[in-house]
Amino acid sequence: QKEVEQDPGPLSVPEGAIVSLNCTYSNSAFQYFMWYRQYSRKGPELLMYTYSSGNKEDGRFTAQVDKSSKYISLFIRDSQPSDSATYLCAILRDNYGQNFVFGPGTRLSVLP
């Protein structure tokens, strides 16, 4: 079983839709979870950071962690064409800060 799994998409939605992006992971000891957004021909940029379980909201973005199911989600409300990008989940394997595992990314297109 892979450490992190993520549907690569592509996912196409109309402008204004609610988008749900998801990752599953295998190790119940993981505690720190992140979402990155990567535009075409750019480096990934940190979008959201969560610790342990629960929800974290930042504007139109909500990150959710369900440790019992080993499932993390990123929700985008009122999606915009500018949200079109690849979204990567990243999980910290340990508490020392250097050992990340990244999902392959989900490519999202928001159509005007």
Partner 1 sequence: DADVTQTPRNRITKTGKRIMLECSQTKGHDRMYWYRQDPGLGLRLIYYSFDVKDINKGEISDGYSVSRQAQAKFSLSLESAIPNQTALYFCATSDSGRGPRGSAQYFGPGTRLTVL
Q: Which residues bind partner 1 (CB under 8 A)?
A: 4, 6, 8, 31-32, 34, 36, 41-46, 49, 51, 88, 90, 92, 95-100, 102-105
- C-beta of 40 vs 69, nearer to partner 1: 40
- C-beta of 51 vs 71, nearer to partner 1: 51
Residue 15: CB minimum distance to partner 1, A = 26
Residue 92: CB minimum distance to partner 1, A = 6
Own/partner pairs, 36-41, CB within 8 angstroms, 24+ separation: 36/87, 36/88, 36/89, 36/90, 36/102, 37/85, 37/86, 37/87, 37/88, 38/85, 38/86, 38/87, 38/88, 38/105, 39/85, 39/86, 40/85, 40/86
Residue 26: CB minimum distance to partner 1, A = 15
- C-beta of 70 vs 104, nearer to partner 1: 104
- C-beta of 42 vs 77, nearer to partner 1: 42
Does an H or E element contain 88, and which?
strand 85-92
Could you tell me if 108 and 14 are in contact, meaning their C-beta atoms sit under 8 angstroms apart?
no
